[in-house]
A = this chain, B = another copy of it.
Amino acid sequence: MNNFDLNLYLAAGRKQIDEALIRVVDLGVNPSQILTAMKYSLMAGGKRVRPILCLAAAEAVGGKPQDVIRVACALEMIHTYSLIHDDLPAMDNDNLRRGLPTCHMAFDEATAILAGDALLTLAFQTLSANALINDKGASAWLGILHQIALAAGYQGMIEGQMRDMASEGTLLAIEDLEKLHALKTGALIEASVWSGAVLGGGNQKQIEQLKIYAKNIGLAFQVVDDILDVEGDPAVMGKRVGTDQIRNKNTYPALIGIKDSKAFAKKLVNNALQALDYFDNKADPLRYIANYIIARKR
């Protein structure tokens, strides 16, 4: 564990994901406008948190990257689609994302809506492109696809975005804010870790412990996001800060203050680490990722 370098690990994970993604959205000659827009947002330098978690969860239970790389790519497509749509003028109306113009600024609004639609569709196309797998695997893949659809859909991520918009300007109770985040970002993060664990061949106990891990780091990630919107450096983050306050958004710092927010994030990360007690050193990347969530600057 002492020689582990998280930055190298994350960079290697990002490289692996990026190489797999670029093959899917290869523009070739005479590319269509829609594929160009899809690639623009997909390859705009994301942290690849969800796919890396998926890979690391598979690793923790003894699985191989090739077991899950396809799911990892699909998860990033779904995440990217949600960012493109959330950034639209009718929603958060953001001009900048990851230091670059948002999709509707770089192209136009119609193209951005359709690029999001297309990435969501491509995610399910990717998850079902299994000419190579045998009949035995098909049932598992169908189950994975179903869980990801549930996490991304109207009872998961989309409901989270609805609640996020509805709550602007009104004061939420802390448990409602927690539920909002569990839906908006937690559900897909949980699905990322879960699908990695299942496809990696984890047993029931391992899968359950990893669910607890995911639930806690998912929320911790969001609490730290809120903190960074108060204390973060726009140059490092590649986007504006202070926007939550301008929009009267419900955030942990706004509801319980910066100090208690940091303590809460720390507690969540400790919960996540505890859930990994059951695992050997193959789960070290997940442990380092949990700690990184607190330490990150962007």
Known: A142-B138, A149-B125, A152-B121. Is A111-B33 also a contact (CB below 8 A)? no
Interface check A70, CB cutoff 8 A: no
Task: Please state if B117 and A91 are interface contacts (CB–CB under 8 Å).
Answer: no
Name the one of B35, B111, B128, B166 contacting A149, with C-beta atoms under 8 angstroms.
Answer: B128
Name the one of B88, B117, B162 contacting A111, with C-beta atoms under 8 angstroms.
Answer: B162
Interface check A245, CB cutoff 8 A: no
**Majority-rule SS of A interface residues:** helix
Interface check A34, CB cutoff 8 A: yes
Interface check A146, CB cutoff 8 A: yes
Q: How far is the CB of A249 from chain B (nearest CB, A)?
A: 15
| Interface-centre pick from A133, A141, A162 (highest chain B CB count, 10 A) | A162
Interface check A38, CB cutoff 8 A: yes
Q: How far is the CB of A114 from chain B (nearest CB, A)?
A: 5
Interface check A129, CB cutoff 8 A: yes
Complex interface bits, A28-39 against B, C-beta within 8 A gives 1, otherwise 0:
000011110010
Known: A121-B154, A138-B139, A142-B138. Is A34-B159 also a contact (CB below 8 A)? yes
Task: Please state if B117 and A117 are interface contacts (CB–CB under 8 Å).
Answer: yes
Given the complex, which residues of B lie within 8 Å of A34, measured CB to CB? Answer: 154, 158-159, 162
Please report the C-alpha to C-alpha distance between residue A149 and residue B85 in the assembled complex, in whole angstroms.
Answer: 19
Please report the C-alpha to C-alpha distance between residue A150 and residue B116 in the assembled complex, in whole angstroms.
Answer: 15
Interface check A66, CB cutoff 8 A: no
Name the one of B118, B142, B150, B162 contacting A130, with C-beta atoms under 8 angstroms.
Answer: B142
Interface check A113, CB cutoff 8 A: yes
Task: Please state if B114 and A129 are interface contacts (CB–CB under 8 Å).
Answer: no
Interface check A110, CB cutoff 8 A: yes
Within 8 A of B (CB), among A51-99: 81, 85, 88, 90-91
Q: How far is the CB of A183 from chain B (nearest CB, A)?
A: 10
Q: Which residues of A contact B (CB under 8 A)?
A: 32-35, 38, 81, 85, 88, 90-91, 108-111, 113-114, 116-118, 120-122, 124-125, 128-130, 133-136, 138-139, 141-143, 145-146, 149-150, 152-154, 158-159, 161-162, 165-166
**Can you list 25 contacts pairing A with B, beta carbon distance less than 8 Å?**
A32-B159, A34-B154, A34-B158, A34-B159, A38-B154, A81-B117, A85-B114, A91-B113, A111-B162, A114-B161, A116-B117, A118-B154, A118-B158, A120-B121, A121-B153, A121-B154, A122-B149, A124-B124, A125-B146, A125-B150, A128-B149, A129-B146, A135-B135, A138-B138, A138-B141
List 20 additional contacts besides A35-B154, A81-B117, A124-B124; criterion CB under 8 Å.
A34-B158, A34-B159, A85-B113, A90-B109, A91-B113, A110-B165, A117-B117, A117-B120, A120-B120, A122-B149, A124-B149, A125-B153, A128-B146, A128-B149, A130-B139, A130-B142, A133-B139, A134-B139, A138-B141, A142-B145
